[in-house]
Structures are given as C-alpha cells and as structure tokens.
Amino acid sequence: MAGNELHYSLPRGKVEKATKVLIVVAPYYKDVADEMIAGAKAEIEAWGAVHDLVEVPGALEIPSAISIAGRMADYDAYVALGCVIRGETTHYDTVCNDSSRGLTLLGLQGFCIGNGILTVENRDQALVRARVADQNKGGGAAAAALHLLALSRKWGAPKSGVGFRPAADEFGLAGGEPSA
C-alpha cells in the first residue's frame, strides 16, 4: 500500500475476559522490529489484554514457535512480527512464501494470528511500515489477532440442540431397550 492511500481499519475492540497474547518476533532488523513491537504492545494493552514476547532467529521460525506455544502454553492469540528485505538471491521468495504459508496453515487450524511479517524491497519501506507514527503494522497485526479472537469467542460458544443424537435417544430407547 502506498503511504498516501487511505484505508479502513475496524474499530478497536475490548476483551471481556482475561486474554493473553504471545508476540513472536524475528529481530533480524532490530530497529524495525522494535518499532513493530512497540505498536503491537500498545494495541494489545488498549484492548485490555496482556502480552508476552519471545524472539526467534528468523521469519521462517515464527510459525514453528507459534505452533509450539499453541501445544505447550496457554495463549489466546498470537502476533507474528518480522521483516524480510529483498536481497540478491531467491532466498527472499522462500522466506516470504514459507513464513506466510506456515502462518496461514496455523490460522486455518484455529489459531488467532495477526501476520506482521513485512516483505519489502528496501529498508525505507520497512521503516515507514513499522513506525508507530506511520503505518504501524505491528499494531495492525495485534489488532488482527484480537479481532480473530473476538470472532472465535463469539462463534465458539456451545451450541444447544444442534447436531446428531443417537437413534436410541430419538426413539426413547435407553441402552437399546424400549422405555416404558
């Protein structure tokens, strides 16, 4: 998105019950990562949630860290932060595609993830997108994760009277025998 384009953002929500968010960051470009972390933390706190932060070596490790946390820890939502700047080799394409694919697959499994991994051509583009005073993509990723969590909580309530019942229940049978 060009810096001068207008775009719509969903209104900020608020969590109604205790919410823990894990921020997973690959700080390869530390100044860019620090800006994104600041934006993510501010957004999470504005929603009334709490956060933890872990660092991983690179963008490719972010989906793995989120998957591990999902299995072994107690977080409600996840924010993926990092930056990949195009270089001279095709490694850029691999890192961009595979980190994004990994996060998408986790999302399709029900993880509430905001993807804040920047994929840019140069450092100037990265800084404009990362800075809280500019595009604040860290804050945007945190908001995305929390909006997904809100949907998950809305739709995750137990549903009564929906689904299949065993035939025994439908016909008044207890243990396969007709009831009196």
91: domain CATH number?
3.40.50.960
Is 1 within the bounds of a domain?
no
Is 11 within the bounds of a domain?
no
Structural domain count, the chain: 1
β strands within 10-149, DSSP E: 20-25, 50-55, 77-85, 113-120
- The single residue of 7, 51, 91, 147 carrying the catalytic annotation is 91
Is 85 within the bounds of a domain?
yes
pLDDT digits (tens, 9 = 90+) for 1-43: 455 678 899 999 999 899 999 999 999 999 999 999 999 999 9
Is 13 within the bounds of a domain?
no
Per the annotation, the verdict on 7 as an active-site residue is: no
State the pLDDT at residue 4: 65
Note whether 95 and 58 are within 8 A (CB).
Answer: yes
**Chain centroid offset of residue 126 CA:** 20
Using DSSP's 3-state secondary structure scheme, residue 65 falls into: helix
Is 14 within the bounds of a domain?
no
Is 9 within the bounds of a domain?
no
Q: Which residues contact 104 (CB under 8 A, 6 or more apart)?
A: none
Residue range 122-142: average pLDDT? 98
Q: Which domain holds residue 36?
A: 20-178
* pLDDT tier at 179, thresholds 50, 70, 90: very low
Cβ neighbours, 10 Å, residue 105: 12
Is 82 within the bounds of a domain?
yes
Output the pTM of the full model. Answer: 0.85
